[in-house]
């Protein structure tokens, strides 16, 4: 079997369609892009939500499972700068699920879809041993306007939106595995972290803003942790990156050491990671619709990732994070 998701995706890229005139972006970015008309491109993405892999019925209410199943795909469309339009929801149900569970799943999914103007137009249904959903979203973007992982150049500023690691903190709290320091969280902070995990908000408006104003040279969504996702963006762009620990916006409610670990390796924040050429940086606002846009470092000419610590020393940034193919 393939040793990692990266190896599998690399094999698929070789095996299946390469980018072509009709398919400017194929396998390997957040989503695929295809030519639709003289004015628009279509963006397509599909994301699994599988019981015991992406969610646990012990931890995740059905409403959250439905919300997150769609949020994953919306976040991929956001990362490409697209406007999501239509969704197909394929749902396999196990006999252990109640009709109430299914209704809550769709309530969570439909509520998010409504807020983002997405019509759920189809999909498939089946039975299976465990519950599994696969959500496909079709979005659109101005022709040539899709934000890719591969466009970053040395000297570009690296930005992240929002606060990283909050979702992972919430997940740890839900699993009743308190992190060092998190015992001291008050009720409001606990609720904020848990909400970040159960009901993440895809950054579609920000992605469209970056694309429309041609501000970002590259972008992707943060689903598997900053360290791993930044390594993917750097590799796709064939450049390196240097980020500054002090600048990384981790959760403020936990000690700095815990916050750093959460921000670097915690998954499922669904914030955006993007790069901005220096000449355009001053056109970028500090926040967009209440979400902070934080510069955290620079792309470099090397093929290395480095982290500048609080003491000013540089250490290699290990691309560690979530990989479905590796044992947990």
Nearer to a second copy, 144 or 255 (CB): 144
Q: Is 117 exposed, middle or buried (0-12, 13-18, 19+ CB in 10 A)?
A: exposed
With contacts defined by CB under 8 A, how many residues of the chain interact with a second copy?
Answer: 61
Cα dihedral across residues 14, 19, 25, 31: positive or negative = negative
Task: Name residue, tokens 């942790």.
Answer: 225
Binding flag, residue 90, a second copy (CB under 8 A): yes
Report, in Å, the least distance between residue 151 CB and a second copy: 19
Nearer to a second copy, 127 or 238 (CB): 127
Report the SS3 class of residue 146.
coil
Report, in Å, the least distance between residue 201 CB and a second copy: 21
Nearer to a second copy, 105 or 159 (CB): 105
d(CA 284, CA 134): 35
Q: What are phi and psi of 134, to 5 degrees?
A: -130, 120
Tokens representing residue 9 in the block: 């995706």
Q: Which of residues 106-125 bind a second copy (CB under 8 A)?
A: 106, 110, 119-125
Tokens representing residue 147 in the block: 């934000």
Q: Quick one: which H or E segment has residue 122?
A: strand 119-122
d(CA 99, CA 251): 37
Binding flag, residue 236, a second copy (CB under 8 A): no
Report the SS3 class of residue 119.
strand
Binding flag, residue 2, a second copy (CB under 8 A): yes
Binding flag, residue 224, a second copy (CB under 8 A): no
d(CA 25, CA 301): 24
Choices 126-134, 221-229, 240-248, 259-267; region in contact with a second copy by CB under 8 A: 126-134
Q: Quick one: which H or E segment has residue 158?
A: strand 157-161
Binding flag, residue 8, a second copy (CB under 8 A): yes
The contact mask relative to a second copy for 133-172 (x = CB under 8 A, - = no) is -x-x-x----------------------------------
Q: Which of residues 60-89 bind a second copy (CB under 8 A)?
A: 85-86, 88
Binding flag, residue 17, a second copy (CB under 8 A): yes
Nearer to a second copy, 124 or 257 (CB): 124
Tokens representing residue 174 in the block: 């839900």
Nearer to a second copy, 54 or 68 (CB): 54
Nearer to a second copy, 175 or 324 (CB): 324
How distant, in Å, are the alpha carbons of 24, 89, 91, 99, 107 from that of 126?
Answer: 33, 12, 7, 14, 19
Binding residues vs a second copy (CB under 8 A): 1-2, 5, 8-9, 12, 15-17, 20, 22-23, 26-27, 31-32, 34, 36-37, 42, 44-48, 50, 52-54, 85-86, 88, 90, 92-93, 95, 97-99, 102-103, 106, 110, 119-130, 132, 134, 136, 138, 324-325
């Amino acid at each position: 079997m393939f040793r990692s998701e990266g190896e599998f995706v690399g094999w698929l890229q070789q095996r299946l369609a390469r980018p072509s005139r009709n398919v400017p972006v194929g396998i390997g970015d957040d989503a695929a892009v295809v030519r639709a008309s003289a004015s628009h491109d279509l963006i397509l993405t599909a994301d699994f939500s599988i019981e015991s892999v992406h969610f646990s019925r012990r931890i995740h209410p059905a409403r959250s499972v439905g919300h997150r199943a769609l949020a994953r795909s919306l976040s991929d469309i956001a990362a490409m700068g697209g406007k999501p339009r239509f969704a197909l929801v394929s749902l396999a149900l196990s006999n252990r699920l109640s009709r109430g569970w299914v209704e809550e799943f769709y309530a969570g999914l439909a509520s998010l879809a409504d807020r983002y103007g997405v019509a759920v137009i189809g999909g498939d249904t089946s039975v299976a041993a465990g519950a599994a959903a696969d959500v496909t979203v079709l979005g659109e973007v101005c022709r040539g306007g899709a934000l890719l992982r591969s466009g970053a150049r040395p000297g570009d500023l690296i930005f992240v939106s929002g606060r990283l690691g909050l979702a992972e903190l919430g997940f740890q709290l839900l699993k009743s595995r308190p992190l060092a320091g998190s015992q001291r969280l008050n009720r409001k902070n606990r609720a904020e972290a848990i909400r970040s995990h159960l009901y993440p908000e895809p950054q579609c408006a920000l992605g469209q803003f970056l694309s429309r104003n041609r501000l970002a040279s590259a972008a992707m969504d943060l689903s598997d942790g900053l360290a791993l996702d930044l390594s993917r963006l750097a590799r796709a762009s064939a450049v390196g990156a240097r980020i500054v620990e002090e600048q990384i916006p981790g959760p403020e409610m936990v000690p700095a050491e815990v916050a750093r670990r959460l921000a670097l390796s915690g998954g499922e924040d669904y914030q955006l990671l993007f790069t901005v050429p220096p000449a355009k940086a001053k056109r970028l606002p500090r926040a967009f619709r209440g979400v902070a846009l934080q510069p955290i470092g620079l792309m470099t000419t090397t093929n290395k990732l480095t982290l500048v610590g609080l003491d000013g020393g540089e250490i290699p940034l290990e691309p560690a994070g979530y990989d479905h193919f590796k044992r947990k």
